[in-house]
Structure 1
């Protein structure tokens, strides 16, 4: 098996690769987490890893004055995406990818937090997201973005039109969370307790839905990921 390197930029501890970690290791990827709060992202070589994954987090792309690491991530992504190196962005990661590709990122009409299915675009039928048809995924975001130029829209929801996009086989941005693990979901509820309280959302409902939907998402998410990995052009 070919051994490949993977850098996963992590913003908060519990928003990690989740259910994706096992299939990535099985596919031959050696995973190194890059904790954004601990590493100088400006010193990270943009093209070094065979695969770069930008994970979620509670800050916004436009928070660069308060959180300077955002500017470093955008600089890294601009170089990597210009070279068309395999890159996956999840939630904040997708927003950062969109911004690096020149699209606007801004607050959405309302927070989208909870479990629901995606409306897959016709273009998604031959894309990895086909595995997520009729599968409830986790949404946890307040921001959205315009579709970057040259990218294909893959999925939408009634509240958020731009849920997923791709550019060729190597670039995939996912506004939702396909990687969440049911047995780790309590970390999400605790970590985002203040946001849930201020948004008037009930953690009991979210916990119940996680028990109902997470296992199916873990299985479908693995199929989706493996399909995408198999088509990468390294």
Structure 2
């Protein structure tokens, strides 16, 4: 199986997703949207699409003209029945493609904070699944729940932390894919975001949360396995 990755910034790569793909014998291909003149793939050649996070907003089309084409591609992928996974900015782009709105959250959420899974999440996954998880968050904007989507997880700072749509489309506001290396790079390149607030940890606190990444990877392993096996069916008109 081929997983195609939309990567928005150089230091936020697929992280644990790459390890999962290698373990399962899947192939990764990329569109590096941070590179000059990014080229989009032939949709018919893809098996699944993963849309990663980034520093920009979904509303920054004037600054990043490729956002317009990316949004159109995501919409075509969904309409064509492709499994699509969005993380952070990627989840916001996917939610918007499904008719949701993306807006400023009540407060930035940056650091390791718990999320709690809904009963719908427990129905989505098979086998043992935790009631809660403490993943990395790094966002100021939030998405509304897309029409027809099912809420999978919430946090105290952000009600819509995860959703599924027709099982094959998943949006995660948090970052379960981040590795220790990516976390260090985010702290280096995005330290300007760490303005003190109720839901913003210090760089020292975030760095100390590295031990929590393993549980997020275990969760992501379960999610990717269930998601990759989801039915491929075009959206009903």
Who is 1:6 aligned against? 3
Post-superposition shift, 1:172? 0.7
Greater CA drift, 129-138 or 117-126 = 129-138
Q: Distance in 2 between matches of 1:185 and 1:43?
A: 27
Q: Distance in 2 between matches of 1:163 and 1:138?
A: 12
Post-superposition shift, 1:102? 1.5
Q: How does 1:113-152 map to 2 (within 5 A)?
A: 113-128=110-125, 131-152=129-150
Q: Distance in 2 between matches of 1:179 and 1:81?
A: 22
Could you say what the CA RMSD is over the residues aligned between the two structures, in angstroms?
Answer: 2.2
- CA pair 133-229 structure 1, distance change in 2 beyond 3 A: farther
- CA pair 186-43 structure 1, distance change in 2 beyond 3 A: closer
Q: Distance in 2 between matches of 1:52 and 1:61?
A: 18
Who is 1:204 aligned against? 204
Q: How does 1:1-234 map to 2 (within 5 A)?
A: 4-38=1-35, 40=37, 43-128=40-125, 131-196=129-194, 201-210=201-210, 212-233=211-232
**Secondary structure in structure 1 of the residue aligned to 2:167:** coil
The aligned length equals: 230
Post-superposition shift, 1:205? 0.8
- CA pair 232-114 structure 1, distance change in 2 beyond 3 A: farther
Q: Residues 72-120 of structure 1, C-alpha deviation per residue, up to 9 Å, x if partnerless?
A: 1111011111112111100000000011112111111110011122121
Greater CA drift, 192-201 or 45-54 = 192-201
Q: Distance in 1 between matches of 2:183 and 2:55?
A: 16
Post-superposition shift, 1:178? 0.8
Post-superposition shift, 1:51? 0.9
Unaligned stretches of 5+ in structure 2? none
Q: Distance in 1 between matches of 2:122 and 2:201?
A: 33
Q: Distance in 1 between matches of 2:174 and 2:138?
A: 7
Q: Distance in 1 between matches of 2:36 and 2:232?
A: 28
Q: Residues 53-83 of structure 1, C-alpha deviation per residue, up to 9 Å, x if partnerless?
A: 0000011111112211111111101111111
Unaligned stretches of 5+ in structure 1? none
Q: Distance in 2 between matches of 1:231 and 1:201?
A: 36
**Secondary structure in structure 1 of the residue aligned to 2:133:** coil
Q: Distance in 1 between matches of 2:66 and 2:132?
A: 36
Post-superposition shift, 1:6? 1.6
Greater CA drift, 119-128 or 135-144 = 119-128
